[in-house]
Copies of this chain bind each other. A is one copy, B any other.
Amino acid sequence: MLYNYFEPMDNYDPSTNEYDVIFVGGGAGGRFGSTYFRAMGGKQLTIDKDGHLGGKCPKNACVIHHYLFDIAVELDLARILDDKKWYPKLPTGTGKVEIVPMIEDYLKGRDEAYDVMYYQSKNQLNLEFILNREAEIVDKNTVIVDGKTFKTKNLVIGSGSRAAIPNVPGKELSGVYSYADFLELDYEPKDVVVVGASKTGMPWASFFNAVGCNTTMIDMNPFLTAFNLDDEIKEYIIDGMKLRDMNLMDNTTLSSINGNGHVESVTVVRKDGSKETIKADMVFVGTGCIPNSEIAVPLGVEIGGSNEIVVDSHMKTSVPGIYAIGDVTGGPMEMWKARKAGMVASKNILGMEADLDITSFPDFLHTTYEITWVGMTEKEAREKLEKVFVIMMPIKDYPGHCPIPLAERTMLLSHIHPGLNGMQKAIYDGETRMLLGAQHVGYGAKDSFQYLDHLIRNGVTIDEMANMNELFLNPTHYIQLSRLRAGMKSLVDLT
């Protein structure tokens, strides 16, 4: 392994200290922005306080999230198929599975992931970078690291975000975690309360539940309000969690975390104003992130109401020559946005006008399912358009559960527990026959939703969809379901 956690991991030409651009922060945005800039022929330097590139994603966010999701799905399946003598069995019978050894295995692998990013950034992408040291920003053209001065024509700030912890009594107790310190877990929780049914809260709660913890999830709003999904899809997701014995409390606010040194319980306020105390030896907070904009305040850039650096679609801040990218510019705090923002900033710095368009994008969420969506919901479409055409599986009026696999690797579930094998729909404009949006609960749709987003953005009709070549069994049946209706001049819902 080339990567060394404890040493400076620098790669820059010491013969000069002048750059076209310095990226402060080598996360998703900084790394991709730097790469694009370098690829276009510009001279960049990327500085990160952590000992690796890639930012929080490999450190403690998306990667551990997916690692836990992978495990949760497998444990969930083992529980569901426990009566099948040919299916793998929970290692603990039906009991709780230990979490700490999973984390230990994760941490071993993480260093190797850092190593690949280091190798790629240095050997393939030829980036110049300084890692494991703080950048002291003197002014927009001057950055000091370890007493050494670096001069730059442009500054790009990609300082990321941090977990937002609700300001309630007891938040400092041991046993209160967010994604940011989850990897420090050193005991086996039994009763977990997850605060926030968010993109972080949902998968972590599902993981704790699959592992065998008594799991409660609370949210101040109705569940899934923030996600652009139709009601029957939301219902399917929530029902799936209930079926797995998760304790779900929506319209519920965290009032206090109680304990003596360590968490012992949580007090919440229900919608009707009543208080309830829930036993807990762990609290996991998934209530969003705060942009790390403090580093930019002395530069005089405009800071918004959510602590974000305000940028235009060119990623320009209010101060000429200073750009900002990624989570520090506020939501959506997504990988694609950070990376593309890096690309857009780089193009603009080099005089190629480019815009970051965040008006529509594909999105996803994990429970023990993968949930993906893009474009308009049926509800939105029906509000805006005269004639809307919808295809959906399972079939609404079919008497019983629909034993057709609606996701990848659910041929098994569809034959044994057909109610658990997913849900999907697609929404068309019935007049123009254009695809407007799609939603999927299951597995294996994430990759295609990227391309569906592109196709919707550029326009694709049901007739073009019907003429594509499906790969049976495709997780989304949009092509063949479209073909079942495309012969019609006036489209009739297939739901």
Q: Which residues of A pack against B, CB within 8 Å?
A: 1-2, 32, 35-40, 57, 62-63, 66-67, 69-71, 73-75, 77-78, 84-91, 97-99, 101-102, 105-106, 108-110, 112-113, 115-116, 119-120, 123-125, 334-337, 339-340, 343, 346, 361-364, 372, 395, 397-400, 402-405, 408-412, 414-416, 418, 443-455, 464, 466-476, 479-480, 483-488, 494
Is there contact, CB below 8 Å, between B418 and A112?
yes
Which residue of the partner chain, among B67, B85, B363, B443, contacts A444 with CB atoms under 8 Å? B443
Quickly give the copy total for this chain.
Answer: 2
**Residues A395 and B451 in contact, CB atoms below 8 Å apart:** no
- B88-A88 in contact (CB<8A): yes
A24 to chain B, nearest CB (A): 20
Asked if A447 contacts B448 (CB within 8 A), the reply is yes
In the complex the two chains form, what is the Cα distance from A449 to B450 in whole Å?
Answer: 11
Question: Which chain B residues lie closer than 8 Å to A361 at the CB level?
Answer: 469
Chain B: which residue is nearest A57 at the CB level? B472
Contacts of A450 in B (CB 8 A): 448, 468-471, 474, 479
Check A473–B66 contact: CB distance below 8 A: yes
In the bound complex, residues from chain B placing their C-beta under 8 Å from that of A473 are 62-63, 66, 446
Q: List 17 A-B contacts (CB under 8 A).
A: A39-B484, A39-B486, A40-B487, A69-B409, A70-B411, A71-B412, A74-B74, A86-B98, A105-B416, A110-B415, A116-B398, A125-B484, A336-B470, A408-B443, A446-B475, A447-B474, A450-B468
How far apart are the CA atoms of A11 and B195 in the complex, in Å?
54
Q: How far is the CA of A32 from the CA of B469 in the complex (A)?
A: 14
> Which B residues lie within 8 Å of A400 (CB)?
1, 112, 115
Does the CB pair A469–B336 fall under 8 Å?
A: yes
Across the interface, do A71 and B91 meet the contact criterion of CB distance under 8 Å? no
> Whole-angstrom distance between the alpha carbons of A495 and B90 in the complex?
39
A445 to B310, CA, bound (A): 37
- In the A-B complex, the 7 residue pairs with the smallest Cβ-Cβ separation, listed nearest first, are A109-B415, A39-B487, A451-B451, A447-B448, A88-B88, A335-B472, A66-B411
Closest chain B residue to A120, Cβ basis: B395
The smallest beta-carbon distance between A4 and chain B, in angstroms, is 14
- Which chain B residues lie closer than 8 Å to A119 at the CB level? 395, 398
Q: How far is the CA of A101 from the CA of B108 in the complex (A)?
A: 39
Q: From residue A91, how far is it (CB to closest CB) to chain B in Å?
A: 5
Closest to A68 in B: B411
* A470 surroundings in chain B (CB, below 8 A): 335-336, 339, 450
Is there an interface contact between B86 and A91, defined as CB atoms closer than 8 Å?
yes
In the complex the two chains form, is B109's CB within 8 Å of A418's CB? yes
Known interface pairs A1-B400, A399-B2, A480-B339; A454-B474 also in contact (CB < 8 Å) = no
Q: Which residue of B lies closest to A77 (CB)?
A: B74
Q: How far is the CB of A270 from chain B (nearest CB, A)?
A: 35
User: Chain B's nearest CB lies how many Å from the CB of A241?
Assistant: 19
Highest count of chain B CB atoms <10 Å: which of A75, A124, A466, A469: A469
Q: Are B101 and A85 in contact (CB under 8 A)?
A: yes
Q: CB-nearest residue of chain B relative to A440?
A: B447
User: Which B residues lie within 8 Å of A485 (CB)?
Assistant: 39
Tell me whether B86 and A89 are in contact (CB under 8 A).
Answer: no
Contacts of A471 in B (CB 8 A): 336, 362-364, 372, 446-447, 449-450
Neighbouring B residues of A468 by C-beta, 8 Å: 450-451, 453-454
A108–B412 Cα distance when bound, in Å, is: 12
Q: Which residues of B contact A475 (CB under 8 A)?
A: 444, 446-447
Q: Which residue of B lies closest to A399 (CB)?
A: B2
How distant is A263 from chain B, measured CB to nearest CB, in Å? 23
B-side contacts of A98, CB under 8 Å = 85-86
Residue from B57, B77, B85, B455 within 8 A of A91 (CB atoms): B85
Chain B residue contacts of A395, Cβ below 8 A: 116, 119-120, 124
A416 to B104, CA, bound (A): 11
Residues of B within 8 A of A85 (CB): 91, 98, 101
